[in-house]
Amino acid sequence: MSSDCAPRGPDEHPLLPRAIHLAAHAVAASACGLPYPPLSLSASGCPLTREASVGRGPARNPLETEVIVALAGAEAEAIATGATVPCCADVAQWITDGDGAEAEPFIEWLRLKTARTVEHPLRQRLIAAIAQALVSRGALGEPEVRAIALDETGRYMRGQ
């Protein structure tokens, strides 16, 4: 499985970018201390987790966790496809009750943290492995996502 960040070819499965997007939400959630959410290619919209936990990993608090998890899908999809991908959630609305532009510097900072989170070689491998399984099976429960992530992490740690 490729672990580089290069855009993929047009011959790949048409659902792979969406699978990568969903897998990145799951991997970023785990990086922030949340359980892996169940994933499904058949769900409409983007099933973002709305659960929050005390900050861990790249996030310092529940708000940062939610924003990083939300931004991760578009970030990983953009890395995989080379295209500009808009975020699937209006995260500025979560932060302000008025002018979303005032939140932009904070969101941009979290976007950089998100990019570093999903660009990490291990997380790129986790996203790719979960996305491939999601394309094959159509849906994954939390135990399946966790098992794939554990398996791929083991291979990564063994240098395989």
Q: Which residues bind Zn ion (CB under 5 A)?
A: 46, 73, 88
Nearer residue to Zn ion within complex by CB, 17 or 58: 17
State the minimum distance, in angstroms, from the CB of residue 73 to Zn ion. Answer: 3
Contact by Cβ (8 Å): 55, 61: yes
Cβ count within 10 A of residue 97: 6
DSSP string, 107-137: HHHHHHHHHHHHHSHHHHHHHHHHHHHHHHH
Nearer residue to Zn ion within complex by CB, 69 or 129: 69
Helix (H, G, I), strand (E, B) or coil at 39: strand
Nearer residue to Zn ion within complex by CB, 58 or 73: 73
Nearer residue to Zn ion within complex by CB, 20 or 129: 20
State the minimum distance, in angstroms, from the CB of residue 154 to Zn ion. Answer: 27
- Look at the block and give the residue holding tokens 């970018």: 17
> What are the residues facing 39 on neighbouring strands?
140
> What are the residues facing 18 on neighbouring strands?
none
State the minimum distance, in angstroms, from the CB of residue 89 to Zn ion. Answer: 7
Nearer residue to Zn ion within complex by CB, 37 or 73: 73
Tell me how far apart the alpha carbons of residues 63 and 28 are, in angstroms, rounded to a whole number. Answer: 14
State the minimum distance, in angstroms, from the CB of residue 21 to Zn ion. Answer: 5
> What are the residues facing 140 on neighbouring strands?
39
State the minimum distance, in angstroms, from the CB of residue 22 to Zn ion. Answer: 7
